Structure 1
Amino acid sequence: MSEIASQADKKQAEGDPTSSETEIAAAAAPEEENKVMSAVDAFLAQFYLSKFSKQIALQYMKKIAADPTDDNERVKKWLMRGMNKVVRAPDNCDDWQRGCPDKIPGIRAQPVWDTKDFDWVERIEENFNVILEELVALEGLDVSGFQPYRAPAANDKIKNKSDGVGVEATDAGSWNVFYLSLGKVRSGDIPGIYGHSFFSCLSPKSHITKHNGPTNKKLRCFLPLTCGENARLRVGGVERVPLQRGKILIWDDSFEHESWNDDETSRITLIFDIWNPDLHPKERKFLSFLTNSQLRAQKKIVAASGHEDNFLSVIDRAQYLDVAKEDLWT
């Protein structure tokens, strides 16, 4: 499973060992196997797998290790790094990605992607007015559904606000979000969809401080719905990534990035994620299984305590915080 060969395996590959070598190998094999399984258990613990799910994960891992093709090569290397607790960045990692906690080897380090490589982009842009109408409909509601964006305190050094809900991502202005779905985007028009989708509103004169996204296995997609000339985004060393109303932008948020809205009006964007196209469908399937198990576990934690400082609990508590209308519809 782990591609960690025991001394017995090596001896057998070289030829018939002597009787004394056989006795040593027989004694060493269980110890080596225990080390491997201990590393596997430690790695899988972060995904909070049930006993049944863990068995499924182990079967996945056996298939990945035995795959003679390169279909699982990136995830295979990722598993080996995780099991061996390798902390250094993969060789292909860009310096701007150093702050990203979960980096899968063998994926292109590319801050901004060409939308021409994605055949669904034009279909989404053609539906711009329909999406905009959905946003505008929220303005007439007594309760907009927007909430302040907050991150778990453990992921940021910014001091908690007095309300005690996570930490803010801005050092000027405000950032508010309207979650459309968590776990998946309900759209058949976007192949390779990943994660949650939301409307993101950056109020006038706001700045989202520099940070890295959680993983390079996905790409972030922007569709600006309201956007002035002075809204800007930096991704890695690309100082000013173009933001244009009604035009999709695809970029890798594992790169350090920050965003400004220097206009007098709010910048509102539809945001969703897609799988990094460098990952094979087999790899996506396994990674999805782990991510979904982790998400289910977090939901249970929130339901049980409501105060655990994880991603979902912060979202759950932030929905009860007030958002000023002028921060949304200016």
Structure 2
Amino acid sequence: MSPNGSDFHLSKDAIERKLHEVIVSWGMSAFSSNIAYHWIRRAVNDGKGDSEWIHVRKWILLQLNGQRRSKHTSPWQLGCPEIIPLLQSRPIWKTSNLPWVESLESSFAVIKEELLGLQSKQGFQPYRAPSLDNDNQVSDKLGTAAHDRGEWNVFYLFLHNVDFSMNRSLCPQTVAIIESIESQYDHAFFSALAPHTHVKKHNGPTNKKLRCHLPLVVQKDQCRIRVGDELIKVEEGKCLVFDDSFEHEAWNDDPDHSRIVLIVDVWHPDLTREERRFFNFVRNAELRACKKYCKKDSSNFYSIIQAGKQSKKSSHDAIWK
């Protein structure tokens, strides 16, 4: 492997050592680390690195240089822990350029009907994030609240390889629609903001995906979302696609009614099929490592999701009011 960059002046052996150090930092098992190493070697040496693997190659080079992001990263993305270089970067995306949006919007009535059918079912749980400090810690000790007013509850369909098959069985048509999206990221859920809820400004974990909101239950002119420096009014039945690596926050200003949207993540359209396969392999290997150690660390996201799944403490009125 010989990275090409005028700012990278190391011997071949030193580069190989640094590459192994980078892979080890991902927290993979020895078996997965070995696969990742050979995958990267093949990716950058097969003569296609400038086309099919350009984003993976640049991402690896950043890490070999001890950098988290390129100098061209938007100030609005500085809170995102993983920025893949050279991906088109904009807070809001035009849905006309994303053909899968039509399938979601045309299925609005079917999806909403299945959502409303959940009113007498279990499955919603409070949204929680890992506890990085003492701010907004909650009484149930399940991580940290991501909102500073109101309540935020979620009904997971796909998330981090956690078994939500029971939830999926309650809305099979919605699941089929999501699975029909070739670029779906295996991360989808219903998100309910109670009346007068504000989700604090935050950044998503990576720019290698886009986030789509399909608003299902929204009171007119009462719900907003800010992504970067753009403020958008949420409209029922109209998809909003944005890059959640940009700082964003959301409001349900209605005093009497909840706001519920279907959230579906998709791979960034600039990534090639091979790059998706690679990044998905890395993500799944990291998740397996996280699951392995979750019993030793109750503060990681996987442990919090599992604990929240078992708690079933979501308020019915906070979701369905």
Cα distance, 1:35 vs structure 2 = 2.6
The residue matched to 1:123 in structure 2 has which SS?
Answer: helix
Provide the residue aligned with 1:194 in structure 2: 185
Q: Which has the larger radius of gyration?
A: 1
Structure 1 position 136 matched with structure 2 position 116: yes
Provide the residue aligned with 1:313 in structure 2: 303
Structure 1 position 74 matched with structure 2 position 65: no
What amino acid sits opposite 1:170 in the alignment?
Answer: H
Structure 1 position 126 matched with structure 2 position 106: yes
Provide the residue aligned with 2:123 in structure 1: 145
Provide the residue aligned with 1:51 in structure 2: 30
Q: Distance in 2 between matches of 1:188 and 1:200?
A: 19
What amino acid sits opposite 1:102 in the alignment?
Answer: E
Provide the residue aligned with 1:96 in structure 2: 76
Structure 1 position 273 matched with structure 2 position 250: no
What's the TM-score once normalised by structure 1's chain length?
0.85
Moved more, 179-188 or 69-78: 179-188
Structure 1 position 261 matched with structure 2 position 252: yes
Q: Distance in 1 between matches of 2:54 and 2:40?
A: 12
Cα distance, 1:53 vs structure 2 = 1.9
Provide the residue aligned with 2:286 in structure 1: 294
Cα distance, 1:321 vs structure 2 = 5.0
Kindly tell me: are residues 223 and 189 of structure 1, through their superposed partners in 2, closer, same or farther at Cα, counting changes over 3 Å? same
Cα distance, 1:221 vs structure 2 = 0.6
Q: Distance in 2 between matches of 1:233 and 1:157?
A: 26
Cα distance, 1:47 vs structure 2 = 2.9
Q: Distance in 1 between matches of 2:149 and 2:316?
A: 17
What's the TM-score once normalised by structure 2's chain length?
0.87
The residue matched to 1:153 in structure 2 has which SS?
Answer: coil
Provide the residue aligned with 1:37 in structure 2: 16
Kindly tell me: are residues 4 and 110 of structure 1, through their superposed partners in 2, closer, same or farther at Cα, counting changes over 3 Å? closer
What amino acid sits opposite 1:62 in the alignment?
Answer: R
Q: Distance in 2 between matches of 1:138 and 1:159?
A: 29
> Is the 1:152–1:309 Cα contact (8 Å) retained in structure 2?
yes
Provide the residue aligned with 1:177 in structure 2: 154
Structure 1 position 236 matched with structure 2 position 228: yes
Moved more, 206-215 or 117-126: 117-126
Deviation readout 1:265-288 (Å, 9 max, x if unpaired): 100010010011111222111111
Structure 1 position 216 matched with structure 2 position 207: yes
The residue matched to 1:93 in structure 2 has which SS?
Answer: coil
Cα distance, 1:329 vs structure 2 = 0.7
What amino acid sits opposite 2:102 in the alignment?
Answer: E
The residue matched to 2:135 in structure 1 has which SS?
Answer: coil
The residue matched to 1:179 in structure 2 has which SS?
Answer: strand
> Is the 1:236–1:255 Cα contact (8 Å) retained in structure 2?
yes
> Is the 1:114–1:250 Cα contact (8 Å) retained in structure 2?
yes
The residue matched to 1:289 in structure 2 has which SS?
Answer: helix
Cα distance, 1:2 vs structure 2 = 4.6
| Gapped regions of structure 2 (runs ≥ 5) | 162-174
The residue matched to 1:327 in structure 2 has which SS?
Answer: helix
The residue matched to 1:278 in structure 2 has which SS?
Answer: coil
Paired residues, number:
299
Cα distance, 1:163 vs structure 2 = 1.9
Root-mean-square deviation (Å): 2.1
Cα distance, 1:197 vs structure 2 = 0.8
The residue matched to 2:105 in structure 1 has which SS?
Answer: helix
Q: Distance in 2 between matches of 1:48 and 1:325?
A: 39
> Is the 2:20–2:37 Cα contact (8 Å) retained in structure 1?
no
Q: Distance in 1 between matches of 2:86 and 2:241?
A: 19
What amino acid sits opposite 1:181 in the alignment?
Answer: F
Deviation readout 1:245-278 (Å, 9 max, x if unpaired): 1111110000000000001210001001001111
Deviation readout 1:103-154 (Å, 9 max, x if unpaired): 011011100001111112112211112111221111022xx31111010112
Q: Distance in 2 between matches of 1:64 and 1:2?
A: 12
Moved more, 273-282 or 48-57: 48-57
Structure 1 position 207 matched with structure 2 position 186: no
Q: Distance in 2 between matches of 1:133 and 1:215?
A: 32
| Gapped regions of structure 1 (runs ≥ 5) | 11-30
Q: Distance in 2 between matches of 1:157 and 1:242?
A: 32
What amino acid sits opposite 1:171 in the alignment?
Answer: D
Cα distance, 1:36 vs structure 2 = 2.3
The residue matched to 1:65 in structure 2 has which SS?
Answer: helix
Moved more, 220-229 or 293-302: 293-302
> Is the 1:2–1:80 Cα contact (8 Å) retained in structure 2?
no
Cα distance, 1:157 vs structure 2 = 6.1
Q: Distance in 2 between matches of 1:315 and 1:122?
A: 31
> Is the 2:150–2:195 Cα contact (8 Å) retained in structure 1?
yes
